[in-house]
Structure 1
Amino acid sequence: MARYTGPKAKISRKFGEPVMGPSKALQKKNYGPGQHGRGRRSKKSEYALQLQEKQKVKYTYGMLEKQFARFFHLAAVRPGQTGTNLIQLCESRLDNLVYRLGIAPTRRAARQLVSHKHIVVDGEVLNIPSYLVKPGQLIGVREKSKAMDSILESLSLNSASKYGWLEYDAKEMTGKFISYPERELVPENFNDQAVVELYNK
């Protein structure tokens, strides 16, 4: 189960955005990481900008290269725009939906909850963070895990009501994935067209 395990703040500083969750490092050091972080040239080539957008999507959803390439292939063979399909597939990952529902405060925490068998899909325990949830399926907290402090705290601070493609039942601690979100409704700042252009070279 491969994932990025390096420093989160370094990645956020690299893109100038909190791609791996909130980071105080961006406020303290608003320049790139490394020895030459302050002095790097500001103008980037077209390829560099396209690669940066791909890396941003990868890090945001917690994927490594091989898995991301598989997602891109799935998006390319589906009807519709490849870039939109790619973001919709990423949004339908189980760990991402657990995060969107407010069950976990970050995608990393959501991945851990799924891996440790605290999450059920349609009543069945699933421990595969990259599982692609289909519209109409129900995601919930396992009965034995409903009293976990980390889950209760996260639910008290976060709300799924701000996402129109999700329904959440607070009493049952279950959420329904209604439909794939429209591209403009996904709050993250991605240039998915640049990712498509990179792969089509």
Structure 2
Amino acid sequence: MAKNLEPKCKQCRREGEKLFLKGEKCFTDKCAIERRNYPPGQHGQKKGRLSDYGGQLREKQKIRKIYGILEKQFRNIYKFADKQRGITGENLLQLLESRLDNVAFQMGFGTSRSEARQIVRHNCILVNGNRVNIPSYRVKAGDTVEVVQKARDQLRIKKSIEIANNRAFPTWIEVDTKAMKGIYKSKPERADLPATINESLVVELYSK
């Protein structure tokens, strides 16, 4: 199975902002962006001007890295978003947010999306009482997502939920941290998603 093996901190430095790929470390002063806020490589500190195409490409790469999506997967999700009613860019972000690995992350079952993806693959998550081990599974409004009984004693899941409980959960999900269970209430509104993401650049890129 193909996957991105590039060091996570380098990915953040290349995009020039925190992508929160390393979980708890991203909230400390050990974060690479806090220490070296410039692109990796020997020419990283040289400032260059991006073309319009370059800016569009970087934004697409940034969103891919945030959600841990490979190029072919991302393109397929975009095509599906483009066929739906409404604004294509918002549809794209809503589809990405509804992936099971992302929902598990937002509910605090993993400290990062990559850890949440691993937890899903290891058969630790139930959706509406059924075991689902496909990270790209699309969660629908009203679905209940929970940690299986056998996995509730795992220290990494307990620690992750404790960390998430100290921060605010997104408004579109409802989480019972003691029961390790949550409800995906609805699709997130654009105003609820990070303002640092400019999905319109991705639409411009794929519209060419």
Q: TM-score, normalised by structure 1?
A: 0.95
CA-to-aligned-CA distance 1:41-85 (integer Å, 9 cap, x gap): 1x2100000001100110000011000001001100111000000
The equivalent residue for 1:112 is 118
User: Quick one: distance in 2 between partners of 1:11 and 1:171?
Assistant: 34
**3-state secondary structure, aligned to 1:158:** helix
User: Quick one: distance in 2 between partners of 1:190 and 1:139?
Assistant: 26
The equivalent residue for 1:24 is 31
Would you say the 8 A contact 1:83–1:195 is kept in 2? yes
CA-to-aligned-CA distance 1:131-175 (integer Å, 9 cap, x gap): 111111111001111111111111111138531100112232111
The equivalent residue for 2:86 is 80
**3-state secondary structure, aligned to 1:95:** helix
The equivalent residue for 1:55 is 61
User: Alignment RMSD, CA only?
Assistant: 1.4
Number of positions where the alignment pairs a residue of Structure 1 with one of Structure 2: 200
User: Quick one: distance in 2 between partners of 1:161 and 1:174?
Assistant: 16
Would you say the 8 A contact 2:106–2:169 is kept in 1? no
Match for residue 203 of structure 2 among 180, 183, 196:
196
**3-state secondary structure, aligned to 1:57:** helix
User: Quick one: distance in 1 between partners of 2:168 and 2:7?
Assistant: 31
Give identity over the alignment, percent.
43
The equivalent residue for 1:9 is 9
**3-state secondary structure, aligned to 1:10:** helix
Shift of 1:187: 2.7
Q: Tell me the amino acid that sits aligned with residue 26 of structure 1.
A: I
Shift of 1:188: 5.8
Q: Tell me the amino acid that sits aligned with residue 66 of structure 2.
A: T
The equivalent residue for 2:98 is 92
Q: Tell me the amino acid that sits aligned with residue 27 of structure 1.
A: E
Q: Tell me the amino acid that sits aligned with residue 205 of structure 2.
A: L
- 143-152 vs 164-173, which moves further: 164-173
Q: Tell me the amino acid that sits aligned with residue 178 of structure 2.
A: K
Gaps of 5+ in 2: none
Would you say the 8 A contact 1:161–1:168 is kept in 2? no
The equivalent residue for 2:127 is 121
Q: TM-score, normalised by structure 2?
A: 0.92
Classify 1:2/1:138 alpha carbon distance in 2 versus 1 (closer, same or farther; 3 Å): farther
Classify 1:188/1:133 alpha carbon distance in 2 versus 1 (closer, same or farther; 3 Å): farther
